[in-house]
């Protein structure tokens, strides 16, 4: 199951995704992202404690890409484990989404 926490720090909206995002739990992630896109311009997603993500979860990010681009929102993912990064890589998502290693880099990228 997935546990999602959100906070706002220094003008950046932080989404923390913990646990597993699969076909049954992706709906939660989708809702969180959707509402964040409505109001925020700078969003970073902490995936350090994300143990597993399947296509449903990836699809959440992918489905909102156009909206992100059109509204000029900055979205950065960070803290991906090796296994999770490889999954993102299978679909070539690092070319479409900004992915960095640490929280500091994410903050730098957004400022």
The residues that touch another protein, with contacts defined as CB under 8 A, are: 1, 20, 22-24, 26, 30, 52, 54-56, 58-60, 62-66, 82-83, 86-87, 90-92, 96
In the complex, minimum distance from the CB of residue 80 to another protein, in angstroms, rounded to a whole number: 12
Whichever of 69 and 101 has its CB closer to another protein, that residue is 69
Three-class HEC string of 17-76? EEEEECCCCHHHHHHHHHHHHHHCCEEEEECCCEEEECHHHHHHHHHCHHHHHHCCCEEE
Q: Identify the residue whose tokens are 């681009």.
A: 69
Whichever of 10 and 92 has its CB closer to another protein, that residue is 92
Whichever of 53 and 107 has its CB closer to another protein, that residue is 53
- Cβ atoms of 7 and 39 closer than 8 Å: no
In the complex, minimum distance from the CB of residue 84 to another protein, in angstroms, rounded to a whole number: 8
In the complex, minimum distance from the CB of residue 6 to another protein, in angstroms, rounded to a whole number: 21
Pairing type for strands 2-9 and 12-21 reads antiparallel
In the complex, minimum distance from the CB of residue 23 to another protein, in angstroms, rounded to a whole number: 4
């Amino acid at each position: 199951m997935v546990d999602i926490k959100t906070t706002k720090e220094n003008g950046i909206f932080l989404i923390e995704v913990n646990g597993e995002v699969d076909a049954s739990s992706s709906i939660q992630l989708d809702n969180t992202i959707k509402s964040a896109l409505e109001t925020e311009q700078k969003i970073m997603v902490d995936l350090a404690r994300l143990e597993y993500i399947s296509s449903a979860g990836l699809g959440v990010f992918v489905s909102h890409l156009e909206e992100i681009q059109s509204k000029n929102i900055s979205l950065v993912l960070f803290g991906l484990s090796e296994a999770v990064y490889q999954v993102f890589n299978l679909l070539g998502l690092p070319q479409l989404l900004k992915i960095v290693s640490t929280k500091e880099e994410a903050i730098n990228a957004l400022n």
